[in-house]
A and B are shown apart, each in its own frame.
Chain A
């Protein structure tokens, strides 16, 4: 049973209460269409140390936003600033430096089937030419963080859906990114496994202080991330739930509807919104 607390105290609050003024990531009037418009002028900011939860139905353009941040897609119009650099016009080669600072957790993990769990987590480090023992130490540390230490030598095909995503989180964190992007990390998982993933997202946010964007259509998981904090109890960090939405800090919701921003604000504002679409989405 999780502890319920009235407000957030300790390192989690300190870290999340100090957003810098300059956004770490900014979208300005971004437009993109394929055979139909996908994004119709999306703008938002992401402050250092905060979490943005992007909600929306299927085909609303949520995942497209993550792909644009990483340069896997290019916008037709508008600007995208990531860590102070304008990425909209960057070449694949120029994007490499940005990608080294942004971690991504794909929908079903996207682990490399031909590599072991350890090799997957240490992939980026090996590519960067780090020494083998240095890589192994870091990989073991990361697997410990996601509580999968005994799985170092296993192949991805031997893992369950939840374990694959935890390994994907470890892989994304291995190179110590400044921003981490989660693409529907709980889709297709049972509620209990989904909670282990949302707890992990909270852990990354509160203990590592990594700025993050979570794309999901699972409201329960989105609110779990917003309301849960890692608080120190008897020398150990444990997930604790805050019931009062009005005291939550550091998490913002962005709701997309057919490629447009329908809502942007705090969890409390989302819950209190009178917008019929949001009411229908929340119901």
Chain B
């Protein structure tokens, strides 16, 4: 019995050790890939056509989901906050609450999560199928660095387009909130927008625009990393796609907490 227990414990320890080793190796590969990807953005050769294509597919094609997400989030935020603010007779502050919540937190996070689901997974699937069909090897054989050709343009596109999508989402969220305030909460149009304008300060914008830069980098680098790590044929592509969404989303949400902590120190709420 004792021997059997020892055997089971040894087996478990071996598996945990192996899992830990693979995790550390994966993190190491991710860091190297991210470093080389960023480095490739500032050294030749650069592929402007690839960057434009990625901006189109990441940015322009993500507009509908970002518009819908932003608008409905602002609307529901307006409804929910009115219910709470009424308890203190503070309904006129709905505009202020919607604007600050959207710009500081919900706009950046929800946009990043939506783009991760749509584009990060697509990056993992596309690069993953290129790995399993040997197209990545073919690129290397034809003298092209896959990181320059495939990873760097995706990073550039995400770092530029996620902040732009976030601004659009913020604007539509605040606009959605105004619709509910006017038609459902009986607040005047002018009062709502004055409340929004009074609430916003430069610190909010600084925080609201710093986060999407980092989120864009995370979603693209995780998507590319998961895609390039694909093994095991088409089944592996499916796994990479799922992992890219899970890891990307968790990283975005956890980094959001730490960034908020740091940004509140840098840009304190006045």
Seen from chain A, the residues whose Cβ lies within 8 Å of a Cβ on chain B are 67, 70, 72, 92, 96, 99-100, 102, 104, 106-108, 110-113, 123-124, 127, 171
B143 within 8 A of A: yes
Q: Which of A67, A99, A107, A113 contacts B142 (CB 8 A)?
A: A99
Number of A-B contacts (CB under 8 A): 44
- Given A92-B145, A124-B143, A127-B143, answer yes or no on A108-B138 (Cβ-Cβ < 8 Å): no
Complex Cα spacing A171 to B142, Å: 9
Could you list 6 further interchain pairs (A-B, Cβ under 8 angstroms) beyond the known A70-B141, A111-B135, A127-B143?
A72-B140, A92-B140, A107-B134, A111-B138, A112-B135, A171-B142
Q: Which of B129, B133, B141, B144 contacts A104 (CB 8 A)?
A: B141
Ranked nearest first, the 5 interchain pairs of A and B with the lowest CB-CB distance are: A110-B134, A110-B138, A106-B134, A104-B141, A124-B142
> Which A-chain residue is minimally distant from B140 (CB atoms)?
A72
Contact-residue bracket for chain B: 10 to 19
Seen from chain B, the residues whose Cβ lies within 8 Å of a Cβ on chain A are 129-130, 133-135, 137-145
Complex Cα spacing A112 to B136, Å: 9
> Which B-chain residue is minimally distant from A112 (CB atoms)?
B135
Instruction: Sample 18 A-B pairs with CB under 8 A, ordered by A number.
Output: A67-B137, A70-B141, A72-B137, A72-B141, A99-B141, A99-B142, A99-B143, A106-B134, A108-B134, A110-B134, A110-B135, A110-B137, A112-B135, A113-B130, A113-B133, A113-B135, A127-B142, A171-B142
> Which A-chain residue is minimally distant from B144 (CB atoms)?
A127
> Which B-chain residue is minimally distant from A93 (CB atoms)?
B145
Asked if B138 and A104 make an inter-chain contact with CB atoms under 8 angstroms apart, the answer reads yes
> Which B-chain residue is minimally distant from A96 (CB atoms)?
B143
Q: How far is the CB of B67 from chain A (nearest CB, A)?
A: 27
**List of B residues within 8 angstroms of A127 by Cβ:** 142-144
Q: How far is the CB of B142 from chain A (nearest CB, A)?
A: 5
**List of B residues within 8 angstroms of A106 by Cβ:** 134, 137-138
**List of A residues within 8 angstroms of B142 by Cβ:** 99, 123-124, 127, 171
Complex Cα spacing A110 to B138, Å: 6
Complex Cα spacing A112 to B134, Å: 10
**List of A residues within 8 angstroms of B130 by Cβ:** 113
Complex Cα spacing A46 to B184, Å: 82
**List of B residues within 8 angstroms of A124 by Cβ:** 142-143
**List of B residues within 8 angstroms of A113 by Cβ:** 129-130, 133, 135
Complex Cα spacing A96 to B146, Å: 13
